[in-house]
Amino acid sequence: MIRIADETAETKRFWIELPGLKKFDFIPGQYVTVDLPIHEHAHKRNRSYSIASWPDDTNIFELVIVINKNGDGTAYFFEEIKVGSELMFQGPHGSFILTEPLEENIFMICTGTGITPFRSMLHHINNNGIPHQNIYLIAGSRSKAMLLFHDEMLALQKELSGFHYIPTLSQEEWEGKTGYVHTVYESLLADRKPASFFLSGWRDMINDAKKIIMDMGYDKIIMQ
């Protein structure tokens, strides 16, 4: 572990360096599985986290973790992990990835730390000039203070053509969208434009979104 920083009051960012590698290869959207010394049985020690950074030809990658007071894994990260700590992990793994060419409108729908794989994908698209249609990032949070990478996404929206960042707060009035993420994409898809969907975050949101999107007649849905 080479760096740790607060992102919000409940979320920390962790930068991990792999000294045995010159470059850590992964596909944006993938995750790593960390083996934490929190249980005697191996299968109860494993915790999976999406990679929050993007491929940059270095041996460093980033994780973003929200505290769960009832979770042994996040408690270990928040209380035990320091700069200089060593971790064991496997990966990268996962098929929650974009498939080129990006020929349809893409809806990235997330809550909480579910934004992390999308952050990786978006920067990768921007950095490599990958052709794409409209990309909508609909990020749900309870309050503005809990939004992850808010300023970064606002800045990226100015750089990446066709990228629309739509943060949505469910428990706070503000200058942006309020309510749940579902009403946002339902409104944007009133004309039933061709689209594919990526869902990441709270399980209830994912289950509800899958049903709503399928009821709207879409079938290209990938879930984290």
Q: Domains of the chain by range and CATH?
A: 3-93 (2.40.30.10), 105-223 (3.40.50.80)
Average pLDDT, the chain: 95
pLDDT of residue 104: 95
pLDDT value for 38: 85
> Does 61 score more than 80 pLDDT?
yes
Sheet holding 3-8, edge to edge: 3-8, 11-17, 60-66
Predicted confidence at residue 73, as pLDDT, reads 86
Residue 131 banded pLDDT, cuts 50, 70, 90: very high
Residues 184, 201: Cα–Cα separation, whole Å: 16
- Check residue 44 and give its pLDDT: 80
What local confidence, expressed as pLDDT, does residue 39 receive? Answer: 83
Q: What is the pLDDT of residue 74?
A: 85
Q: How far apart are CA 198 and CA 150, in angstroms?
A: 19
- Which residues lie closer than 8 Å to 110 by C-beta, 6 or more apart? 118, 137, 138, 139, 140, 181, 199, 200, 201
Tokens describing residue 38? 């929190």
Q: Taking the CA of residue 77 as centre, how many other CA atoms within 13 Å lie in the half-sphere pointing to its CB?
A: 30
Mean pLDDT of 189-193: 95
Mean pLDDT of 20-31: 96
pLDDT reported for residue 75: 87
Give the pLDDT confidence score for residue 20 in this predicted structure. Answer: 87
Q: In this structure, how many other beta carbons lie within 10 angstroms of the beta carbon of residue 166?
A: 20
Quick one: tokens of 123?
């920067």
Q: Considering the entire predicted model, what is its pTM?
A: 0.95
Spatial neighbors of 189 by CB under 8 A, at least 6 apart, are: 107, 195, 216
pLDDT score, position 97: 98
pLDDT at 41: 79
Pairing type for strands 46-50 and 31-35 reads antiparallel
Tell me the average pLDDT across 186-201. Answer: 97
Q: Which two tokens stand for residue 69?
A: 């007071």
Tokens coding 50: 């999406």
The three-class DSSP label of residue 118 is: helix
Binning pLDDT at 50, 70 and 90, where does residue 72 land?
confident
With a cut of 90, say whether residue 158 has pLDDT above it.
Answer: yes
Predicted pLDDT of residue 223: 96
Structure tokens at 201: 């975050």
Q: Name the residue among 6, 63, 71 with its Cα closest to residue 38.
A: 71
40 falls in which pLDDT band (50, 70, 90)? Answer: confident
Q: How confident is the model at residue 68, as a pLDDT?
A: 83
Closest CA to 149 of 161, 137, 132: 137
What does the pLDDT average to over 138-148? 97
What residue type is assigned to position 85 of the chain? S
Decide: 186 and 216 in contact? Cβ < 8 Å.
yes
* Alpha-carbon distances, residue 204 vs 96, 111, 180, 208, 210 (angstroms): 18, 10, 12, 6, 10
Residue 13 pLDDT: 97
- Over range 102-108, report the average pLDDT: 97
Measured from the Cβ of residue 142, the count of other Cβ atoms closer than 10 Å reads: 13
